[in-house]
Structure formats: structure tokens, C-alpha cells
Chain A
Amino acid sequence: MMRLVQNICARSALVALILGLWSVAYAHSAQAEPQHGGTLTFAANPEPPMLTSALSTAGPIQWISGKIFDGLVSYDFDLDPVPELATSWVVSEDGKTITFTLRDGVTWHDGEPFTSADVAYSVMNIWKEIHSRGRNTYANVESVDTPDDLTVVLNLSAPAPYIMNALASIESQILPEHLYAGTDPQTNPANNAPVGTGPFKFGEWERGNFLILERNENYWDQPKPYLDRIIYRFIPDGVARSAALEAGEADMSVLSTVPLPEIQRLGELDHLDLETRGYDYHSITAYLAFNLEKEVLADVRVRQAIAHALDLNIITNVVWLGFGTPATGPFHHNLDKFQTDDVTIYPFDLEKAEELLDEASYPRDENGVRFSLSHSYLPFGQQFVSLADYVRQALSKIGIEVETVNQDYGTYVTRVFTDRDFDITTFFANNQSDPTIGVERFYWSGNFKPGVPFSNGAAYQSDEMDAILERTRTEIDTDARRQAFVEMQQLAMKDLPYVPLVWVDMVTVYNTRVKDHTTGALGAYSNMADTYIEE
């Protein structure tokens, strides 16, 4: 509830009203009896390349495969684990063994029993080997013991407290050993037609058009799931997605994939409502990164000046139409176990910005220009285009000329992270459920890896920062770990290799007949076993 209240304060009155209504509706529906039957249709974009999150964590894959697979655990709104395939778990005193007890009587969609061997195979052969983030998350896992069919023991070389935050089905997906062992996991045909344990089974996929999931009649959590089927309709045009929702041809869209101006309008319609919870596991923050390898930007005063010249309220309210909160630090406020406001802040102040630039001896020339910067923005929707327009206008006021580069995703990733042919870049990134997994990558000098997308693109290098980050990785005492992260945020805002811009609120648009779609941190990325349709 705390977060809800916070959000209401931060957002426009209109959305607040809708949320208010929502909470009333929710309180009401919580009493209502879930009904069986019905089809839930998503307006989806983009289409995923395949359907197994264990091999690629691209958003659309997570969103679809999260229904086909269960995780060892799921997460509630406070990002605390709740049982799913694991009924209980114990982390040892020294943090170096984690023991899971698995649910009895669970079967894969093809009828084979689900056992500890599946988990062991997935940890050692998939997550640790080929999962994009898992290669870091599970790096400390030395071996997995399976004393019996229902017990899994992870043996770690050093504590890894973030593992317990990474076990959702969309992040650490358990693959059926009997279909994967001995094959090349990358080319396994099951990647496109997965066999999971989840509430929904893969049905039919007509590429470029739609994908259907069917109800798993033998789901372990009877009488769930309530829905008969889930349909994903792939609609490439944002306004067309909105039209499908408005016309009732689709029931839901997630992750603000409907254009924001449309979301505002749809929220006012009788049959549609908005939901901004359920993105805690993603926690998306927008940043502006400086390329510290450029001489001008290596000067912290220049970076501070730029931070002072950007009005985060305008960015939040005009560019993101109020769907977010001006960021004060690198951690999304969803991560409130770690996030602090006790950091250096850079209020909007043009005079201060000019002073800093003068001090750094970059005077204005006869045209009033101090220097110019090339700005590459993440090509991901209209917000970044608008943001780029705003950045250019805002920086021109302090004598910095900005040349904006529009490019497609492939070119962007290559230019910024491989060729490093940029001065500033704006992008957003998942903070994930734990800063070690989602934020550390931008600040740790060991992750300055040209060629790797969304690595330490600023080329930020600080021994002090590295030492703090290394502490956060192995500290098993919750308070001490939080304290280390507080120091990390303070240093991040002092050195300012990135200006955190907005803690973005992603929005789910849903038809009011769809109930219980957002019941935890995963929101509509969960398995949706609880979701039902009220006719």
C-alpha cells in the first residue's frame, strides 16, 4: 500500500483517480469467486524470436514463456520469494549452500515427472553456461547435489545473496532434462514449442500473426488455472494496438507497449483500466550516460553542469507523461530494500550549470557555443525521440550544441557499446530484482567490455566503486549489504558517470473483465494461474 500511496503523489491526478478506483475494484474482486473459462487476448509487440527464457531474456520471451514455465519461486510485491516449484528453501549460515525442497507430483506438459535432476541440469548446463545474465548470477555455483528426487542443493564457492532474488521463472527457467540433455540447447526444437510445468501449454504459433497457449489440465495447483487459453496477437503499430484494446479485440497490453498518450486516453474509457504495479521485478530506470573516454566529459564539472541543465520534472511529466518519478539515484525506487535518497542531487539550475562550465574553462564562442556533443538515444519508442529533442533544447541553453543520431537498434548497440562512437547516450535498463544483477553492470570497471550491449558504456573506472561493489556481492548480512549499496549510490551520484533521469512506471492496460492479473512483483509476466475473466 505504501508504494501505491507514493505513486499517487507522484502521478497526475487523473491516473491517481484511476488507481484509486482500481483499488476499490480490486478490493471488491478479491471477494468475488474466480470463474473458470474464457480467453485472454494480449495485444503484443514485438514478436519473440523463440520461447525459452533460459536461453534469452528478451522481454517478449519472458512474458510468454513465463506462462508455460514455473520458477522455483515467485515474488510478492515486496520482492520476497513465495513458493512455486520449490515449497521451501534454506540458505546456510555461511551463505555457501542453498537447499530447495521441490513440490511433489509435478509433471511436465508431456507427462514426465518433474524432479531435482531437471533443476540440476538447468543450473549447471543452462543457467551457468548459456543464460545471458545467469553466467554472472550463478558464477559461484560449484556443483548441485540431488540427494533425492525432491531435494536440490546448490554448493557455492562464495556467498551469492542475489541468487535468491533471481529465481523467478522468467529469469531462471527450469528446462526439462529429458528433452535437453545431450542436445545442443540453442537449436533444440523445444525452444520454439516449449514443454514446461506451468499452467499453460504451448498451443499454436503462426509467426507474424499470433500465438496461442492452452490450459494445462494437469496443473499442480488445482483448480487453477482459470483461463482456457491465452492468445498473443502481434500488432506492430502502437496506435493499432490501442485500437484493438479499445475495440475489445484484445484484453491486455503490458510494459507500456501502447503509446503513452493513448494509455492516458484508454484509461478514461469505461471498459479499460490501468495498472502500474507488477513491474517490480523489472524496475526500469532511464539514464543518460557520459562517454568518459571523451576529454570534455572526463571532467566531472561538465557532467555536473549537464545534470543541472536537465529538468527531470519536464522529462518525467512531458516526455513520460507523468508515468514515472524523477530519479534521484541509480536504483529504481521499487528496490526499496537497497535504494536511498541520501545522495548528492543536482537540481535544475542553469546558472549553476553555466558557472561549472566556465570553471571547467569551456567558454562560449562568438556563436554562444561552448562545445558540441553527439547524442545517441535508444531507439525504443517515441519517448526517447522526445527525450532527445528535450536534451538538445536544454543543453543549447547552456551553450552545448547537441547533434542527435537516430538509428535502429542494431546500429545503436554497435555504435555505443562496440564502436564507442558517442558522447552521450540515453537509454533505459532493467534494474532487476537485485542491484548486483541489474545495476552493478553499469558501474563496475570489470564490466567495461566494448562489444557487450548494456555493459559499463560510460567506461567508468573507480577503485573505490569496485571495492564497494565487490563487498555487495558476498555480504550475506542484509543490513550490511544495504549499507554497502547506500555507499555505492552516494559514490555513483558524486562521480556521476550516469545521470539517472526517470524511474519509469510501466503500464498494463487491461479490460475490466480481466481479474487478478497482477498479484505479485511479476505482474503480467507471472504465470497468470490466478487470472480469471468475469463475464
Chain B
Amino acid sequence: MLASIPASNSVEPTRSGFWRRFARNRAAVIGLVLVLIVVAMALLAPYLSANGPWDMVQRPYLWPGDAPGFLLGTDTLGRDLFSGLLYGARVSLLIGLVATATAVLIGTAVGAVAGYFGGWTDTILMRLTEIIQTMPPMILAIVIVAVFTPTVTTVMLAIATISWPAIARLVRGETLRLRNTEFVQSCLALGMNDGRIILTQILPNCLAPVVVTASVMVSSAILIEAGLAFLGLSDPDMMSWGLMIATGREALRTAWYIVTIPGLAILFTVLGLNLLGDGLNDALNPRLKER
């Protein structure tokens, strides 16, 4: 959401300039590190923890540090919260990434086609975008997940459905601007077909703002997943952070660590993704950074 603050005209930065600018931004580096930690947790889950996330291995309600080998304690059913956290990273990241990728795919296609062709194509596509954006996203997501029963797939689908309009608008705006630039006009004059122009001239130039928006969208997808889980709409066979919060929610007051641990995981991931997004934004838009 933060990145829907319009990214200003991007000047294609050189690769080395990008890294230099990025590395100079302390917050961005912290963000990158946070994100890398979460990715590592997800990838290395089976190696870092001896237990599966579902195995009832110990006494329930074991506080962090109460028993050796259970660093973060156990949940209401005696499952290892540490391994829940690791495997949860997989599911939460998966949901965030796939939902965002889907949203980016749909949004980019819709935005580019609408912006490039204009006319009634634009009108219809933008009306559709508007219709989706007129409905409260959380309520729409709830309805979609409830209609198709809560599984990881339907949660991703719901998040993608409410997310793509933002990308579509962004890409449409960029496309409108690019369509009138000299190089696109000259491509047209050379008789290059529309598809190729969109793919080779327009989309690469939309990349920067889309990447920035997407990195933040992953974080809001993770938050939405948690919200849906809070309302009881999550996949019962996949241990996500949202599901962990939902499981521990009723024990919030007696054993607040059960909810706090995945809550903090969400917090740091969202934080990391946003810092990363900001960093990318600055690094990709050098003019902004100069201020």
C-alpha cells in the first residue's frame, strides 16, 4: 500500500548505480536482511527443526525456554512453535508471493492493454477495475474464500483478486505516458506490431514501479492472510502464521506467547518487505534520492 504513492518518472538506472545506491541505504539493507532471514527459514525448515509443525511432541502450553529443545515453547496442542514458525514462513511467503505474482500478472496485462489501446477497451477494463475497487477488499476476500472454502489456493486467489486493480492502474498510467514517447512512436512508424511494442518497449519500462509495488504487496498479502485466518478462514492442512495466530487466539490471555511469536514473525516480514520496497524505490528512482 505504501508504494501506491506514485513512483515518479523512472530514469532507467544503471545496474551498478542501483546497487551502490541500495547499499548506501541502511534501512533498505536491514529490510533485505530481514527478508533473507525469512526466506532462509522457509527453505531450511526441515533442517533447522527436528519436528514437523503438526507433531504433538510435548506438553501443551510450554512457555518459551521451559524445556530444552523447545526454544519457543509449544502451542495449545503441544506442537513445537519453532518448527511451526519455520514451516509457517513457507506457507505465508508462498501465499504472499503467489498471490502477488498473480495480481501482477493480471494487473500488468489489464493495465498495459487498457493504456496502450485506449478507447472502449480502456473504458471496459477500467470500469471492471473500478468495480472491484469499489467493494471493500477485506469483505470481498472473505466472500471469495467462503464461497470456495478456505484452502491455500482460494486464499491466494482472493488476495490476488483484490490486489490486481492497483497494479493495473499503475501500469496503465505508465503505459499512457510511454505510449506517447518518441521511441514508441518510432516503433509504430517502423510497423512493429502492438504485442511486441508492449512486451519490448512498454513493460520493461514499467518494471521499476511494479517491482516496488509488488514487494509491498507481498507484505499486505501476508497481513490479509492473517486477517482471514483471524476470522477462521484459513487452510487447516497448511501451517501458516495466520493459522498459528488463529490457533492461539483463544489462549491469548493465558499464553500470549503463542500468538505473539507468529505475530512478530509477520511484523518483521512486513517490515522487511516495506524497507526493501522503499529501498528499491529510492534506488530505482535516483532523482528522488538526491533530496
A interface residues, Cβ below 8 angstroms from B: 238-239, 242-243, 259-262, 264-265, 314, 318-319, 379, 382, 385-386, 388-390, 392-393, 403-408, 411
How near does chain B come to A380, taking the closest CB pair, in angstroms?
Answer: 11
Bound complex: CA A404 to CA B237 (Å)? 6
Q: A392-B54, A392-B237, A404-B236 are in contact. Are A262 and B254 (CB under 8 A)?
A: yes
How near does chain A come to B58, taking the closest CB pair, in angstroms?
Answer: 11
Residues of chain B contacted by A407 (CB below 8 angstroms): 149-150
> Is the CB–CB distance between A261 and B150 below 8 Å?
no
Besides A260-B250, A261-B76, A385-B246, 18 more A-B contacts (Cβ < 8 Å) are A238-B250, A261-B253, A262-B250, A265-B253, A265-B254, A314-B56, A318-B77, A382-B247, A382-B250, A385-B247, A388-B236, A389-B236, A390-B77, A393-B54, A406-B232, A406-B233, A406-B235, A406-B236
> Is the CB–CB distance between A379 and B232 below 8 Å?
yes
> Is the CB–CB distance between A406 and B247 below 8 Å?
no
Residues of chain B contacted by A260 (CB below 8 angstroms): 250
Does B12 touch A at the CB level, under 8 Å? no
Q: For the complex of A and B, list the 7 residue pairs with the smallest distance between their C-beta atoms, beginning with the closest.
A: A259-B250, A261-B251, A404-B236, A406-B236, A382-B250, A407-B149, A265-B254
Does B269 touch A at the CB level, under 8 Å? no
Q: What is the predominant secondary structure among interface residues of chain B facing chain A?
A: loop
Q: Mark B226-266, 1 if CB is under 8 A from A, else 0.
A: 00000011111100000000110111111100000000000
> Is the CB–CB distance between B250 and A393 below 8 Å?
no
Residues of chain B contacted by A319 (CB below 8 angstroms): 77
Does B173 touch A at the CB level, under 8 Å? no
How near does chain B come to A412, taking the closest CB pair, in angstroms?
Answer: 10
Residues of chain A contacted by B78 (CB below 8 angstroms): 318
Q: What is the predominant secondary structure among interface residues of chain A facing chain B?
A: helix
| Interface contact tally, CB-CB below 8 A | 71
Bound complex: CA A403 to CA B235 (Å)? 10
Does B66 touch A at the CB level, under 8 Å? no
Does B17 touch A at the CB level, under 8 Å? no
How near does chain A come to B143, taking the closest CB pair, in angstroms?
Answer: 11
B interface residues, Cβ below 8 angstroms from A: 54-56, 60, 76-78, 146, 149-150, 232-237, 246-247, 249-255
Residues of chain B contacted by A408 (CB below 8 angstroms): 146, 232
How near does chain B come to A71, taking the closest CB pair, in angstroms?
Answer: 34
Contact of A406 among B54, B149, B251, B255 (CB under 8 A): B149
Residues of chain A contacted by B149 (CB below 8 angstroms): 405-407, 411
Bound complex: CA A411 to CA B145 (Å)? 12
Residues of chain B contacted by A261 (CB below 8 angstroms): 76, 250-251, 253-255
> Is the CB–CB distance between A239 and B236 below 8 Å?
no
> Is the CB–CB distance between A259 and B150 below 8 Å?
no
Bound complex: CA A404 to CA B250 (Å)? 21
Interchain residue pairs with CB less than 8 A apart (28): A238-B250, A239-B252, A242-B253, A259-B251, A261-B76, A262-B254, A264-B254, A314-B56, A318-B76, A318-B78, A382-B76, A382-B247, A382-B250, A385-B246, A386-B77, A388-B236, A389-B54, A389-B236, A392-B54, A392-B237, A404-B237, A406-B149, A406-B150, A406-B232, A406-B234, A407-B149, A411-B146, A411-B149
